Amino acid sequence: QHYWVVIPAAGVGTRMQADRPKQYLPLRGRTLIEHTLDCFLGQPELLGLVVCLSADDDWWPQLACALDTRISRAAGGRERADSVLSGLKRLSELGADEQDWVLVHDAARPNLAETDLHKLVRELADDPVGGLLAVPVRDTLKLAGPDGRVQSTPDRALYWQAYTPQMFRLGALRKALAAALAAGVAITDESSAMEWAGHSPRLIEGRADNIKITRPEDLHWLG
C-alpha cells in the first residue's frame, strides 16, 4: 500500500520555551525533525513527502535532508490545520490522486516506531474512511468544574489519546479540513476535521512512547 506523507513543521513551539522552533532542537545528535523524517524516508511505499514550513524558517535549509528529492516544501499557515491543508494542496501539484492515501504526522513526534507505521497502514489499507494511531488513556480521568473541583470521573475505558500519523484519502481530507476551517471550527488533528464532516475514523492502538514534544520536560523521556 503506497502513500504520501505530510509533515506540519511550521509551529513556533511556544510551550517549549526554547531558543528555536522545537522541531530543530537536538536529540541524540540530530534534530527532532530529522528523526521524524527518517522513519518515513526508509519506506519503499513512500510516494513523496511534503514538509510545511513557516516563511521565515532559516533552520530547514541547514539540514542535509533539505536536498532530498523525495521531499517538497509547502508554506505553513496560521494554525496547524492551515499548514496541513497547504501541504495537501502541494501534493495535488505533485500529481497525487484524490483517492491516494495521505499520512499526516507531527514534526514534533520524533519517536514513531516503524512497527506502528506498518500496523497503521496495514490495518487501514482497505478501510473506507481511514484512521489514526491512538493510545488508550492510562490514568483515571477527572472532569473539572469551573471552581477547579472534580465534577465527575468519566469511564476511562472509552477514552483514547489521539496520536499521529493520521491516515486519510487526499480528497476527503482536503474537503473536510477546508470546510471545517471555513466554518471556524477548532481543529487540532485531521480526525476531528473528518469527524466534523460526518466520517468515523478508526482508532489503531499504537505505542505510548510516540509522544509529541510539547514542553521542556518531554525531551527527557526520549533522552
| Among 14, 115, 151, 200, interactor with ligand CTP by CB under 6 A | 14
Residue 160 grid coordinates: 483514547
| Among 3, 5, 6, 23, interactor with ligand CTP by CB under 6 A | 23
Nearest distance from C-beta of residue 188 to Mg ion, angstroms: 8
Decide if residue 11 touches ligand CTP (CB under 6 A): yes
| Among 6, 35, 83, 172, interactor with ligand CTP by CB under 6 A | 83
Q: Which does 138 bind (CB under 5 to 8 A by kind): Mg ion, ligand CTP, none?
A: none
Residue 127 CA, distance from chain mean position? 19
Nearest distance from C-beta of residue 11 to Mg ion, angstroms: 5
Residues 4-23 that bind Mg ion (CB under 5 A): 11
Decide if residue 153 touches ligand CTP (CB under 6 A): no
The answer to whether the beta carbons of residues 3 and 100 sit under 8 Å apart is yes
The answer to whether the beta carbons of residues 190 and 104 sit under 8 Å apart is yes
Decide if residue 212 touches ligand CTP (CB under 6 A): yes
Residues 34-63 that bind ligand CTP (CB under 6 A): 52
Residue 214 grid coordinates: 510539547
Residue 173 grid coordinates: 481530507
